[in-house]
Structure 1
Amino acid sequence: MHFKTPSRLAAACLVALCGAFTSAQAHNVWLLPSTTVLSKAEWITVDAAVSNDLFFFNHFPLGLENLTVTAPDGSAVAPENAHKGKLRSVFDLNLTQTGTYRLAVLNNGLFATYKDKAGQPRRWRGTAEKFAAEVPADAQDLKVTQSAGRIETYVTVGKPSAVKSSGKGLELVPVTHPNDLVKGDKATFAFHIDGKPAAGLEVVLVAGATRYRDKQDEIKATTDAKGEFSVTWPQAGMYWVDADAKDDKVSLPQAKERRLSYVGTLEVLP
């Protein structure tokens, strides 16, 4: 089962930066916590994968090299028992503070195509720091694209706390708290790019368990002038949220385009 082309493109950029390969553009990336709402301090386990079907690990593990876990007080939480298997990555978190935790895999990098001195086409992926050393200064037909992607989810212990945005890249900015979602209720969120509202952005939401139905049943929305969109949840369960954008706000002079992507996992309760 495939999602819309922009989603596949976003997945390709993210997965490439996480170390996967082959037909990444036909798959989807996600973080899946064992639960998103806890009444008291407890441990949780989180799965991370690239898959054909939502929330089923049937293709490739998601790399955790760029994983960050932010506690309610803004401090960093170290994941424990991290493991990368054949089909998924997994890690545990000891959540001791009251409030909302933000779990995110952040990927930033460059993709370049060019011709070498012999006229042979070449491709390169890497960081801005390695660009000058690994891409020839005399490369012909050089085309460089910068990518910035965020894969995230939220978990709350006890009373929810405010989720602070970083002001960098494409971010989901909650109006309705992401751990206060209930079937039949209306929820509102916003998307920002570098801290400013992203108007006219197409957002796709898909309930999990796509393996067991014939249709994706996508929910589509478009952000308004304030970057906001709303959704009324048709059923309980885990939802995959996707948005993609591009602009010319690059940090490397050789790059002409920046591709931004966001993938989130939200839990809707009965």
Structure 2
Amino acid sequence: MADRVHPVKTPDPAMPDAAESPRSTTSSKTGSLPARKPGPEPGTYVIQVPKDVVLRQPLPGNAHLSKVYARRAARRRSRCCLCITWLFALVLLLAVAAGFLYLVFRPRAPNYTVTGLSISSFNLTAATVSPVFDVTVRADNDRNMKMGIYYRDASDITAAYDGVTLCEGKWPAFYQPPRNETVFVTELRGAGISLGEDVELTLRAAQSEGKVPLEVNVEVPVRVKLGAMKSWTIKVTVKCEVTVDGLRENAVILNRDCHARVKFWGFLGL
């Protein structure tokens, strides 16, 4: 029996290859696959370096600038250390000088006392008062054997009752030598002072009891003389609480308490 030959269908050149059509269908559904990154060439190696190490290493072209900046930073640190050293030495030298002067001169703050008070023109029946105070002050510099005091202008003395300033005046300008006690009288004046109802009532009650508490406050600029040296201008503050028997001339002082404070930046502990 003769062999049967089957006809073979010749593919149409216009039609896509049957073998490729499934691939094309799959590609259209899933999309094109991303291209793979090329790997290292044969004979090469990939070394991973930490980021901080890479940032610390300057580029070859910037190596010179890096050295210049490093030298500048070192010079700045050196100057800063030198300034701190000089400052410490200056503070130490001033402390030694202050201690030496203190041991040589032994400065002490003077004592101040209100020894007399005479009050006039104080009329409590008027709507406003215009009192006149004659204050006698004793400045005692007897404790200082080598320190003199220059009392300067621009001083201020006030007399007050219950926080209400009644009159004002000035501290006289003069020089007080060492081992000296000076007594002076200064006039304080007030004009058109309104006391207020509460203050007036308490002042009347104190007047009737014969015990009127007053405050005398002093601020005076001074210069201290130690041997041939003179200090810069400093401020002396004196606060005196004085109780008198009445608002009258030649009032009797029943009680007094004065405190002096020298606002003198670290001057030998004064």
Q: Would the TM-score normalized by the shorter structure come out above 0.5? A: no
TM-score tier by shorter-chain length is under 0.3
TM-score, normalised to structure 2, is 0.28
Judging by fraction of residues, say which structure has more helix.
2
**Radius of gyration: which is bigger?**
2
Normalised to the residue count of structure 1, the TM-score between the two structures is 0.28
Looking at secondary structure, tell me which structure has more strand per residue. Answer: 1
